[in-house]
Structure formats: structure tokens, C-alpha cells
Amino acid sequence: MEGQKRGRIGGGGGGGGGRGRHGHRGGEDRDVRLSKSLSFALRHGAAQMGLDMSSDGFILVEDLLSHPQFRSFSLEDLESVVANNDKQRFKLRAHPEDGRLQIRANQGHSVQVTDLELRAVQPDAPDCPREAVHGSYLQHWPSIRSQGLRRMKRTHIHLAPGLPGGGGVISGMRKNCDLVIYIDLHKAMTDGIPFYWSENRVLLTPGDSEGALAPRYFTRALKLKPPQCELSLE
């Protein structure tokens, strides 16, 4: 209750400021603005924003809503974005010791989070896909084709078990991706590269010792924008 009460007080200034949930400021939907701000704070910027993040990636909601960047939002705004996010990017829970409300991002971190409750993919498990899909952009294809996929500043390379919308796939790539690369999961796992399921069914891998998935694990690549076509791996 303490977390909820403080959350509502912290959001009182702007949460009920007459704009409504779908009010606009600068042409952007209020929920979209909150989702983007949450993504930055929970995946990348907690330390520089002065927010205390636990080893498993959670931040107290009362601390978040007291931060200047979030004071215009209420607890109800936060709960709505978590519940209605189409990719289920965030998780709310009661702190296991004191019951205060906490929030975290399910994946996408550039900061090290030691316990994201990831589940290791087992090659003989019924839910282990034969291929996984990585979404990208055609402008990056020459580099990807020669150097492979890299996790860059993130802790994992993100993959999906299929194309968005297919077989219940909701996340794993951006909606505007115009390139997909298919990865032979079993071949990569045989070479010792681990893969994990996040809570919202995104496949994550740290890659090899260099943080990469080499081109030898690619099975095919598709250009998605019309006319859709398969790209050469050579």
C-alpha cells in the first residue's frame, strides 16, 4: 500500500492533468512516451538517473514515480502500460520481503543484470525451435553477412522463435525491420553457445566469446519489404 500510495501522489501532478491516457504532447501518445521512458530507465539508465536497481533488474515503483522524469505519470498509467504493452516488455511484482511494488524490463539490457529469471533452451525440449529469427535492416546486411550478428552494447543478441504474429510470437524484433536472418539453433548450441527464453518468450544469447553469432550459423536471410526475396549468404 505504501508503494501504491506514494506512486499515486508522485503521479498526481500530470497523471490527471486533463490530457487523459491518450492525450498528446508533442504529437506522441502518452502511453508511448511512458513506455519509451521505462525502456531507457529499466534497460540502460537506472544508475545515471540515480535509481537503485536490484541484482535481478527490479526498481521500486515508488522510487521510479518520484523521479522527475516520471512525476507526470500515476501508478494507474504504469499498470496500464505494463498490462497493455503488445510485446510484454515489463514486469510488475510485489517485493518478496516487504511487499512494495517493483518493476523491471524483461530483456534488452545494456547494464549487467545477474538474474533475469531466464530459462535455458534445451535442444531436446519440445519448445526448442529448429531455427530462430533475428530482425534487422537491409542497410546492415553487408556487415552482418561478413561479420555475423553482434550483441553490441546489450548483454544479449535478441531472437524470436518465428516472425511476429506467427504461432503466438509477440516479440523479438522491431515492427519496422526489413531484414530477417534465420539461425540454426542446434548448430550453435552444439558449438557451446547458450540460448535462453525470457519471460515474454524472446530468445536471448550472449553469443560466443566475442559476443557474436558467426555467419556459419545462418541458414537463410530474407528481405521483407516488397518484393520479398531471399538474399545470398555468400
Map out the domains of the chain with their CATH numbers: 2-105 (1.10.10.970), 119-231 (3.20.170.30)
Specify the range with the lowest mean pLDDT, choosing from 14-23, 34-43, 77-86, 149-158.
14-23
**Matching residue, cell 550472449:** 206
| Alpha carbons 73 and 80: distance in angstroms, whole number | 11
Q: Quick one: how far is CA 202 from the chain centroid?
A: 8
pLDDT band for position 171 (50/70/90)?
low
pLDDT tens digit sequence for 71-114 = 899 999 999 988 887 777 888 889 888 889 999 887 766 656 65
Specify the range with the lowest mean pLDDT, choosing from 22-26, 33-37, 39-43, 57-61.
22-26
pLDDT for the residue numbered 9: 29
pLDDT tens digit sequence for 39-82 = 888 888 888 888 888 877 888 999 999 999 898 999 999 999 88
Residue 182 scores a pLDDT above 70:
yes
Residue 184 scores a pLDDT above 90:
yes
- Of the ranges 1-5, 48-52, 141-145, which is most confident? 141-145
- The 3 state secondary structure assigned to 121-145 is CCCCCCCCCCEEEEEECHHHHHHHH
Q: What is the mean pLDDT of the chain?
A: 80
Angle between helices 2-15 and 75-84 (to 10 degrees): 90
The three-class DSSP label of residue 28 is strand
| Alpha carbons 213 and 221: distance in angstroms, whole number | 14
Angle, alpha carbons 234-177-228 (nearest 5°): 60
Residue 126: exposed, middle, or buried by beta-carbon count in 10 A (0-12, 13-18, 19+)? exposed
Nearest to 77 by CA among 25, 4, 1: 4
- The grid cell for 122 is 534445451
pLDDT for the residue numbered 172: 58
| Alpha carbons 2 and 133: distance in angstroms, whole number | 43
The three-class DSSP label of residue 216 is helix
The three-class DSSP label of residue 83 is helix
Quote the pTM value. 0.58
Residue 122 scores a pLDDT above 70:
yes
